[in-house]
């Protein structure tokens, strides 16, 4: 097992600067963000230009990572593959295919994404949509020795009322997604605020986990008593529930000692990739790196045993 980080937390930093820092601060792998470089969306990281990525680019990136003692755990592009707008959906699929192409050139076997949801349809209708839309993407990846790993984030901010907008939010649906050829990028933080025991979910689905994201969550039970599990309704703001927030591993509710021990017991030998979305340790690249240092100190004793 190795410790890595998702580069999306440093969207304005060059990939080599991130690699230099990560290699010098106890990290062994990068989950490289590869969103399209779109004007006005500075929060999206484009550390791989997959639209024009070729063999020379792959050789350059691989050599650079080797210099810093790093590998690539996955190419990361978390978007809504079931978007209600057909043009947006197809553009998302096209970019996902370019991420798969880049992963193949880099010799990386995983691309991380979301299933998503058409928020104009019911969950049952979305499952039928997924059965039609997703297999061609899985097949495209498989033909290039790449597998798609799906993060189990609810993506409640995509839904106008804060309901789950990513079909992979619930372990009940993981088996259905597995039938479509999708694998898990397991993130325990989402399960905690949904009231799901992350250890029980891991035990039941360990054979589908090919990648792990390490993010924690802080729960304020008194605020939940006021707002309910779906969060604030009046004066609602996307991505702010009013009763929970994401934190750096070790600063929230997840028992990382037991969780990583369970991964060891099930033979997981991949990467545990820190996904930094902690508002306390954000605001500047320096603060983000301080948060990543806290995460490394928390996780490394359990990962590298």
Domain ranges of the chain: 2-217+247-303
Rounded average pLDDT per 10-residue block, the chain, 305 residues: 98 97 98 92 91 97 98 98 98 98 98 98 97 98 98 94 94 96 98 97 97 98 93 87 96 98 97 98 97 98 92
Residues facing 149 on adjacent strands = 112, 183
Of the chain, the end-to-end C-alpha distance in Å amounts to 9
Which pLDDT score, from 0 to 100, does residue 113 have? 98
User: 2-217+247-303, superfamily in CATH?
Assistant: Divalent-metal-dependent TIM barrel enzymes (3.20.20.150)
User: Is residue 212 within 8 Å of 186, Cβ to Cβ?
Assistant: yes
Which pLDDT score, from 0 to 100, does residue 155 have? 96
Which pLDDT score, from 0 to 100, does residue 249 have? 98
Where do the DSSP E strands lie in 133-186? 147-151, 183-186
Could you tell me how far CA 125 lies from the centroid of its own chain? 25
Instruction: Please give the Cα distance from 271 to 1 (Å, whole number).
Output: 6
């Amino acid at each position: 097992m190795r410790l890595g980080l998702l580069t999306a937390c440093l969207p304005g930093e060059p990939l080599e600067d991130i690699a230099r820092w990560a290699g010098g601060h106890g990290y062994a792998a990068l989950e490289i963000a590869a969103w399209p470089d779109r004007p006005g969306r500075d929060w999206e990281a484009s550390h791989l230009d997959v639209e024009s990525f070729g063999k020379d680019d792959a050789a350059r990136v691989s050599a650079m990572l080797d210099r810093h003692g790093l590998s690539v755990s996955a190419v990361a592009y978390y978007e809504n593959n079931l978007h209600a707008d057909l043009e947006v959906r197809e553009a998302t699929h096209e970019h996902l295919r370019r991420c798969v192409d880049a992963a193949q050139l880099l010799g990386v076997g995983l691309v991380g994404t979301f299933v998503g949801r058409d928020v104009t349809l019911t969950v049952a209708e979305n499952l039928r949509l997924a059965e039609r839309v997703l297999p061609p993407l899985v097949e495209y990846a498989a033909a290039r020795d790449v597998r798609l790993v799906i993060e189990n984030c609810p993506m409640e901010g995509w839904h106008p009322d804060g309901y789950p907008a990513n079909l992979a939010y619930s372990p009940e649906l993981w088996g259905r997604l597995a039938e479509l050829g999708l694998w898990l990028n397991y993130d325990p933080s989402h399960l905690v605020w949904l009231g799901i025991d992350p250890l029980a979910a891991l035990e039941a689905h360990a054979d589908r986990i090919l990648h792990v994201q390490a993010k924690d969550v802080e729960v304020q039970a008194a605020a939940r008593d006021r707002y309910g599990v779906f969060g604030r309704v009046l004066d609602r703001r996307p991505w702010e529930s009013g009763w929970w927030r994401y934190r750096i591993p070790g600063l929230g509710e997840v028992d990382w000692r037991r969780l990583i021990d369970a991964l060891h017991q099930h033979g997981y030998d991949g990467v545990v990739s820190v996904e930094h979305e902690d508002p306390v340790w954000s605001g500047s690249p320096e603060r983000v790196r301080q948060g990543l240092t806290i995460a490394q100190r928390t996780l490394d004793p359990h990962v590298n045993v």
